[in-house]
């Protein structure tokens, strides 16, 4: 074992990045260490990944880079699912319907319609009151805690070491033989010494998880100032995630009764069939999406004596659905830096 390559962060972005690092660079996984304060299986307000819904939806912004990350992820998840052992890894496909109260950006629709499976634009007659546009397609659904745990198990089985450590400065990630550090610290990038990115801020979300074996589909409604979503969790004993909120710069992981009531009201209006069985609430939770003014940060930063640092954070509300593309981009950046170092 050596520590030539260190990934800081064991959220979904750190795991996608570790996988991409090994596969794209054909590394010996035993040369890779993942360092993180929180690891799969843990729960903390400052570990966002377990709290995600999580599915592929139209939540991402409309810029070409994010649309590219979404497309890469959506179209490469089948291969990853197979590698991790099939749908039991916590990743499966389900039907999804999404409504907008306004006309979504043409660039976004053009991109999504080019690759989403079973894509269909819904006729006006099938749109609820107040909805301007609607689509139906087959999406990816994650059982987030299980997917994280199975992804870690897979990487460990190949030889990657996971080590729990809270860093106070990014320089602590350089272990005695480390040449390359990939920084995937999510919301942690706001406070981590040597990074302290003031552009990072949380977008808080609260969810209500219920048991609903009769609901198998995703349903989402995008308003100008709200998002309502219903996300089935594969391989979870019929859990259904109901949300939600997109509260900028709200740092609390606490949950609130009035938000629970509001989520239940909005989701049962969107999909009244939820109430065909008595409401069985499993848990209420809140998480902080790692957002960033100006979008994700995927870039190299100069550090001393030939060492390389590549940042990859700021996935906001789309770490699962765009994170594989982000990881691929971070490895492109790393390859350019390694080539420069050879010159």
Ligand X SMILES: Cc1cc2nc3c(=O)[nH]c(=O)nc-3n(C[C@H](O)[C@H](O)[C@H](O)COP(=O)(O)OP(=O)(O)OC[C@H]3O[C@@H](n4cnc5c(N)ncnc54)[C@H](O)[C@@H]3O)c2cc1C
**Which amino acids are annotated as binding site, given as ranges?**
48-49, 185, 229, 289, 317
For residue 55, state whether it binds ligand X (rule: CB under 6 A).
Answer: yes
Contact at 8 Å (CB) between 317 and 220?
no
3-state helix, strand, coil in the chain (%, to 5): 35, 30, 35
How far the first Cα of the chain sits from its last, in Å, is 28
Among 19, 38, 100, 222, binds ligand X (CB under 6 A): 38
The residue range among 23-31, 123-131, 186-194, 208-216 that interacts with ligand X, by the rule CB under 6 A, is 186-194
User: Shortest Cβ distance from residue 205 to ligand X (Å)?
Assistant: 3
Nearer to ligand X, 28 or 250 (CB): 250
User: Shortest Cβ distance from residue 105 to ligand X (Å)?
Assistant: 19
For ligand X, what does the binding mask look like between residues 109 and 148, x meaning CB under 6 A? ----------------------------------------
Residue ranges for the known binding site for FAD are 48-49, 185
The residue range among 85-93, 110-118, 275-283, 286-294 that interacts with ligand X, by the rule CB under 6 A, is 286-294
In the DSSP assignment, the letter for residue 216 is -
For residue 13, state whether it binds ligand X (rule: CB under 6 A).
Answer: yes
User: DSSP labels for 290-303?
Assistant: EEETTS-EEEEEE-
For residue 289, state whether it binds ligand X (rule: CB under 6 A).
Answer: yes
Q: Greatest CA separation found in the chain?
A: 67
Q: What are the counts of helices (DSSP H) followed by strands (DSSP E) for the chain?
A: 6, 15
Reading the block at residue 112, the tokens are 């999504």
The position carrying tokens 């843990």 is: 42
User: Shortest Cβ distance from residue 262 to ligand X (Å)?
Assistant: 14
For residue 201, state whether it binds ligand X (rule: CB under 6 A).
Answer: no
Please tell me whether residue 286 adopts helix, strand or coil conformation: strand
Print the SS3 string covering 149-215: HHHHHHHHHHCCEEEECCCCEHHHHCCCCCCEEEECCHHHHHCCECCCCCCEEEEEEEEEEEECCCC
Binding residues for ligand X, how many (CB under 6 A)?
41
Contact at 8 Å (CB) between 100 and 59?
no
For residue 290, state whether it binds ligand X (rule: CB under 6 A).
Answer: yes
Q: Tell me which residues in 307-336 interact with ligand X (CB under 6 A).
A: 313, 315-321
User: DSSP labels for 116-159?
Assistant: SEEEEEPPGGGSPTT--EEEEEEEEEE-HHHHHHHHHHHHHHHT
User: Shortest Cβ distance from residue 330 to ligand X (Å)?
Assistant: 12
Q: How many CA atoms lie within 13 A of 223 on its CB side?
A: 12
Nearer to ligand X, 189 or 340 (CB): 189
Among 90, 244, 253, 325, binds ligand X (CB under 6 A): 244
For residue 199, state whether it binds ligand X (rule: CB under 6 A).
Answer: no
The residue range among 77-85, 92-100, 180-188, 246-254 that interacts with ligand X, by the rule CB under 6 A, is 180-188
Among 29, 53, 134, 253, binds ligand X (CB under 6 A): 53
| Radius of gyration for the chain, computed over Cα atoms and rounded to the nearest angstrom | 20
User: Shortest Cβ distance from residue 247 to ligand X (Å)?
Assistant: 10
For residue 12, state whether it binds ligand X (rule: CB under 6 A).
Answer: yes
User: Shortest Cβ distance from residue 301 to ligand X (Å)?
Assistant: 16
For residue 47, state whether it binds ligand X (rule: CB under 6 A).
Answer: yes
Nearest Cα residue to 128 out of 155, 85, 152, 97: 97
Please tell me whether residue 310 adopts helix, strand or coil conformation: strand
For residue 186, state whether it binds ligand X (rule: CB under 6 A).
Answer: yes
For residue 185, state whether it binds ligand X (rule: CB under 6 A).
Answer: yes
Residues at the interface with ligand X (CB under 6 A): 8-14, 36-38, 47-49, 51-55, 166-167, 184-188, 192, 205, 207, 243-244, 287, 289-290, 313, 315-321
């Amino acid at each position: 074992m050596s520590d030539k390559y260190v990934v800081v962060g064991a959220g979904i972005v750190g795991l996608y990045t570790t996988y991409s690092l090994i596969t794209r660079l054909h590394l010996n996984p035993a040369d890779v260490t993942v360092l993180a304060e929180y690891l799969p299986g843990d729960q903390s307000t400052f570990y966002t990944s377990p709290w995600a819904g999580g599915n592929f939806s139209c939540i991402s912004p409309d810029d070409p880079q994010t649309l590219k990350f979404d497309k890469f992820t959506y179209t490469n998840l089948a291969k990853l699912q197979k590698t991790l052992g099939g749908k039991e890894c916590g990743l499966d496909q389900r039907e999804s319907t999404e409504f907008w109260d306004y006309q979504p950006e043409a660039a976004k629709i053009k991109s999504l319609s080019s690759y989403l499976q079973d894509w269909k634009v819904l006729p006006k007659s099938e749109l609820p009151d107040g909805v301007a546009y609607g689509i139906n397609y087959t999406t990816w659904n994650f059982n987030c805690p299980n997917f994280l745990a199975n992804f870690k198990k897979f990487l460990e089985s190949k030889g990657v070491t996971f080590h729990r450590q809270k860093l106070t400065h990014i320089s602590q990630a350089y272990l005695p033989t480390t040449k390359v550090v990939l920084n995937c610290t999510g919301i942690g990038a706001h406070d981590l010494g040597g990074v302290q990115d003031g552009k990072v801020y949380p977008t808080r979300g609260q969810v209500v998880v219920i048991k609903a074996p009769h609901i198998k589909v995703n349903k989402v409604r995008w308003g100008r100032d709200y998002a309502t979503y219903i996300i089935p969790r594969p391989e979870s004993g019929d859990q259904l995630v109901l949300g939600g909120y997109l509260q900028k710069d709200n740092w609390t992981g606490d949950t609130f009764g009035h938000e629970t009531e509001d989520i239940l009201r909005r989701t049962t209006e969107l999909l009244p069939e939820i109430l065909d069985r008595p409401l069985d609430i499993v848990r209420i939770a809140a998480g902080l999406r790692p957002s960033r003014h100006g979008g994700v940060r995927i870039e190299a930063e100069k550090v001393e004596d030939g060492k390389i640092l590549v940042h990859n954070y700021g996935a906001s509300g789309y770490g699962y659905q765009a994170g594989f593309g982000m990881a691929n981009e971070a490895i492109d950046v790393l390859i350019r830096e390694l080539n420069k170092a050879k010159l």
